[in-house]
Amino acid sequence: MHKVHQGIATAMTAVGLMLAGLAQAAPNIEGLARTCNNCHGTGGVSVGTSMPSIAGLSEAYLKHIMMEWKSGARASANMTRLIKGYTDEEIAGLAAYYAKLPWTPQPQKVGADILAKGKEATEDQQRPQDGRGQRARRRRVLRRARQVRERA
């Protein structure tokens, strides 16, 4: 009877050690995410217009774009160097972590001038790629350049 108990105790210790080992081997994603949040905002929710929110984006997208920076297939002034310091496992963990957080839209002020520019750009894209469309596009580009010069 005593031997059996000892056996069980030994087995439980072994399992305990294995779990401790696993916990140590798995990357501490929340700890890693703190670095990201310095730029991307608390919980991956950005408050500024120059920084994208990353919370709530799809896991596949997050992993894909980070792996592209790591391999050099895609370049980013801010992300390329940084992401090279992470293992594939850490990148996968970060992607899963941010994908699970809620997407939080931030209200942004958009002036009428920006909306007009967006409308113009969309219309430019939709214009047929024939001679007339291209002449109209050229006139627009020249007009915009003139406006910029006049402002300067």
Taking only Cα atoms into account, the Rg of the chain, rounded to an integer number of angstroms, comes to 26
When the beta carbons of 11 and 47 are compared against ligand HEC, the nearer one is 47
Phi, psi of 51 (to 5 degrees): -125, 125
Binding interface with ligand HEC (CB under 6 A): 32, 35-36, 38-40, 51-52, 54, 62, 65-66, 76-79, 82, 94
Q: Closest CB to ligand HEC among 80 and 127?
A: 80
Q: What's the closest the beta carbon of residue 80 comes to ligand HEC, in angstroms? A: 8
Residues 36 and 52 sit within 8 Å (Cβ to Cβ): no
Q: How far is the CB of 51 from ligand HEC (least distance, A)?
A: 6
- For residues 96 and 142, which CB has a smaller minimum distance to ligand HEC in the complex? 96
Crossing angle between the packed helical segments 59-71 and 88-100, to the nearest 10 degrees: 150
Inter-CA distances, 60 with 28, 118, 127, Å:
20, 29, 34
Query: Quick one: 13 or 58, whose CB is closer to ligand HEC?
Result: 58
Closest separation in Å from C-beta 136 to ligand HEC: 32
Cα–Cα nearest to 82, from 40, 50, 46, 124 = 40
Smallest distance from the beta carbon of 44 to ligand HEC, in angstroms?
8
Structure tokens at 127: 């214009």
